Amino acid sequence: MKTIRIADATLREVGSLSFKQKIEAVRQLESIKVDIIETALVSGEKADAVALHTISSTIKNAVHCCTTGLSEKAIDQAWDAIKGSAKPRLRIAAPVSSVQMEYLCHKKPAKMLELIAALIKHAVALCPDVEFAAEDATRADAEFLAEAVKTAIQFGAKTITVCDTAGNALPGEFCDVLEKLYKNVPALKKVHLSVQCNNALHLATASVLACCAFDINEIKTTIVYTSLPNLQDIVEILKAKGDTLEVSTKVNTLKIKNVVRTLGGFGGVEEAGEEETPAEDNGSVIEFDMSTPIATINRAVKKLGYDLSDEDKANVYEDFRRVACKKTVGKRDLEAIVANAALQVPPTYRLVSFVINNGNLITSTACVILEKDGEELKGVGYGDGPIDAALTTIENILGHHYELDDFQIQAVTKGRDSVGEALIKLRADGRLYSGAGISTDIVGASIRAYLNALNKIVYEE
């Protein structure tokens, strides 16, 4: 029985992970004995390099495979970031189909072969373990694909990955590509053959299992649901049908569910293997607890009217779990979490001071001073009550009216000197922006909440 290596590409495929989440993902993947942990292209930014250095030192047993750009400089950057790994690998991914060579690299086949040769040669001089990934291989000309793979092997690539990048190949069609490749490139049997199947037609797992009939050595997966096959699905199928397929994996199947539960919320994607947890929604009653998966939280947030990025979804879910471990989270709690965790931006407008005149015999007036780029902006206005007067004054300063979608006030603490929290939702260009403010003064909390939402709008614009 042949042992197939599992390469997890979660850190490569999910770009919205925080530094803390990346390190936690590495630790969890190491704990279940994943063979290869893949990381994304090095951006050249210092923070990115620092993250990869830390990841390199965290990976003890698995191969650390880092994707490089299509230049010698990009390869050097990747190598500098991962050369401290116990088992470093450089991954060079280049298109081999006519359409992608022309569109992405602006190169004809002959020039593409020259580029592949130069990049592999340069990478091998730095790192003994180099992978060549043939992108869009299922749409490539069979003869050119063979030449590209031959070239990569000739110049030192030890792993060849055949990719169904477009995701339009049926399992049988993917196997036909491998069969022709083995026939045209005898040297392929002397290196590791890896497959990367796309799930656009929901056939990635089926394609991987079909490929097991060939002499493949490695499978690309992710711990969360992306365009690649899911790690838990692949491992559990190989455990159940390994004897039939005559393949096995060393990944620890006993721990994998716990790892999936821990990492399933990363990247704003649904937890692997988790059924949807329905929220209790009777009118305005919505309640969630620690068992609620991120997919349900994302749907609830969207139902509240917010359109968040993947990074904001991950931040909201992280804050949600922190609150949910102490109490049941309701609708108002979730809105406050979104206001505090999503789209945090540097403030354009800051509150300097405000003065409110209010009483039952006079019209409420407000004098508000804001600061923008070091300049003080002063405004005076009136309204139906102190809060309306304050917010109207801010609009006078801005010279712009934003639609107020929702306004809530609640006490955070008890007693006469209790702290109040205001939540304001403004609508601009069809999108909702929420802001939260806390103060012992309800008017002050409302102003801060309005400015918090306003700064998000200004930053987006």
Residue among 263, 268, 341 at smallest CA distance from 310: 268
Ordered by start, the domain boundaries in the chain are 2-268, 287-341, 350-460
* Over residues 201-226, mean pLDDT: 88
Mean of the per-residue pLDDT values for the chain?
84
Residue 384 binned pLDDT confidence (cut-offs 50, 70, 90): confident
- Give the pLDDT mean for 42-51: 68
Total-model pTM: 0.59
Which has more pLDDT, 118 or 358? 118
In 78-186, at which residue ranges do the beta strands (DSSP E only) sit?
88-95, 130-135, 159-163
| Helices 331-341 and 442-460: angle between axes, nearest 10 degrees | 60
431-439: strand order across its sheet: 403-411, 420-428, 431-439
Tell me what pLDDT residue 270 has: 41
Of 272 and 109, more confident: 109
CATH H-level superfamily of 350-460: Alpha-isopropylmalate synthase LeuA, regulatory domain (3.30.160.270)
Looking at residue 394, what is its pLDDT? 92
Q: Which CATH class is domain 2-268?
A: alpha beta
C-alpha span between 393 and 395 (Å, rounded): 5
